[in-house]
Structure formats: C-alpha cells, structure tokens
Amino acid sequence: MGIAFVTAMLAAVLFWLVLLRRSRREIPDSGGDGRRADHARLAKIAALLLLGLGVGFFLMFAVAEMAGGDIAGIQHLPPAAVLGALLWLGWKRPRTAGIVLLAISVPLGVAYVVAAAVQGVRPGELWVAVSIPLVPVLTGFLFLWAGRGERGQR
C-alpha cells in the first residue's frame, strides 16, 4: 500500500507542475506563441511517465516471481500488457487514451473506495484506498490535456 500512496503523491505533484503551474491567461487559446504546445508536451510526458511506472511495476513483479520459480508471476503480465497498450495509445493519440483511462478508472475507482469503506477500513487507511485509483484518474486528465493541446496542431 505504501507504493500506491507514493505513486499517487507523484501523480499529484506532476499534475500540479504541468497543469496548475501557470495561469490560464499565460496560455493563449489560439496557440499563438507555442505555450499551449509546451503544456501539452509536458502533460503527455508526465502521463507517459506515470503509465510507464505502472508497466515497470507489474513487469518487475512478473520477472521476480517467475525467476524465483513461481509460475504465478505470469498473472502480472496481463495488467502490464493493458498498461503497455494504453502507453502506446497515449503516445499516438493522447486524447483517446485519456478518455479510455477515465472511462475505466473512475467507475472502478469509486467501486474500490466504496468496497473498502463497506468492509470497515479505518479512516486513516481510507486515504490509501482513495489514492490507488487517483493515479489513473490523474493520468487520464493529463492525457486529455495533452490531446487538447495537440488537437490544434493537426
């Protein structure tokens, strides 16, 4: 659970650095001097970094378990493959990847938090339950921001 909390905090910091660092009046709507393109590029890099951390996390567990002789490590490959596909989609079409991530992560995240609350998780541990779905939600918003900035360039 500690890794999820640290990753959620990293996601929140990246979100703040990329999106909230400058005020809206510094980002021209028409793309005039390229500041919007810079924000889109930074948002895309941050989102790809967060997804890449997820892929690396699942691959690390898969390799470590299978290298130790436990064939059950193969169960970590499907999530790594799904995140890898989202990583590729985010590289090619960030707006679509953001929509897919939000469409999947918001309902599953709400269900996870509700299930944790119903099972009687202590209030101090409920923040950890909230931080787990926070990472893909913030990643989805970063991809949406990146897709918004790239839309005018195509």
Query: Is 29 domain-assigned?
Result: no
**Mean pLDDT (the chain, rounded):** 80
Q: CB–CB of 137/105 below 8 Å?
A: yes
In a domain, 17, yes or no: yes
Angstrom distance (rounded) from CA 37 to CA 45: 12
Provide the domain count of the chain.
1
Query: Is the pLDDT confidence value at 16 over 80?
Result: no
Contact 105, 136 (CB under 8 A): yes
Compare 41 and 33 and report the one with higher pLDDT. 41
Contact 11, 139 (CB under 8 A): yes
C-alpha to C-alpha distance for 90 and 98, rounded to whole angstroms: 7
In this structure, which amino acid lies at residue 5? F
Domain extent, residue 107, equals 2-21+34-151
Q: Indicate if the pLDDT at residue 101 is higher than 50.
A: yes
pLDDT level of residue 119 (50, 70, 90 thresholds): confident
Q: Which of the pair, 10 or 85, is modelled with greater confidence?
A: 85
Q: Quick check: is 26 in a domain?
A: no
Amino acid at 46: A
Q: Is residue 72 scored above 50 in pLDDT?
A: yes
Report if residue 82 sits inside a domain.
yes
Residue 128 counted as domain residue = yes
What was the pLDDT predicted at 42?
Answer: 83
Three-state secondary structure call for residue 142: helix
Stretch 77-93: mean pLDDT, rounded? 93
Is 126 within 8 Å of 114 (Cβ atoms)? no
In-domain check, residue 59: yes
pTM summary value: 0.73
